[in-house]
């Protein structure tokens, strides 16, 4: 029984790969990546088509509000830095300074 399920799962994975050009787990990660990107954009308050400069400016504004020296927390700073890094990474190398 378990062998049949393993074979069906393998065949299903191959069918998905053949139809979409990606493995099923890559498709699932892509959805998670889109959700992370959306959370990062909301946190920084930038549009989907924001340029590098817009992301950096929004990050600076957020850091001035959440920095521990101004009553914020280091967790908030780390979250802001992660959001900035994710969005800059999504821009690709052609838009980096």
CB 76 within 8 A of CB 66: yes
Q: Which residue has the tokens 């980096």?
A: 96
Predicted confidence (pLDDT) at residue 9 exceeds the cutoff of 70: yes
**Where along the chain do its domains lie?**
30-95
> Which position has the higher pLDDT, 36 or 59?
59
CATH number of the domain at 30-95, out of 3.90.180, 1.10.10, 1.10.287, 3.40.50? 1.10.287
Averaging pLDDT over each range in 3-7, 27-31, 59-63, which range is the top one?
A: 59-63
pTM score: 0.64
Q: Per this entry, what is the length of the chain?
A: 97
- Say what the pLDDT of residue 27 is: 66
Note the pLDDT tens digit of each residue in 13-38: 888 878 877 777 766 666 667 888 89
- Say what the pLDDT of residue 53 is: 95
């Amino acid at each position: 029984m378990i062998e049949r399920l393993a074979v069906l799962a393998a065949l299903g994975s191959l069918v998905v790969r053949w139809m979409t050009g990606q493995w099923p787990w890559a498709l699932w990660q892509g959805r998670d990546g889109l959700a992370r990107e959306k959370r990062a954009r909301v946190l920084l308050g930038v549009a989907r088509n924001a340029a590098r400069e817009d992301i950096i400016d929004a990050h600076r504004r957020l850091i001035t509000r959440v920095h521990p020296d101004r009553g914020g927390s280091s967790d908030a700073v780390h979250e802001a830095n992660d959001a900035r890094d994710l969005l800059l990474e999504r821009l690709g190398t052609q838009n980096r300074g």
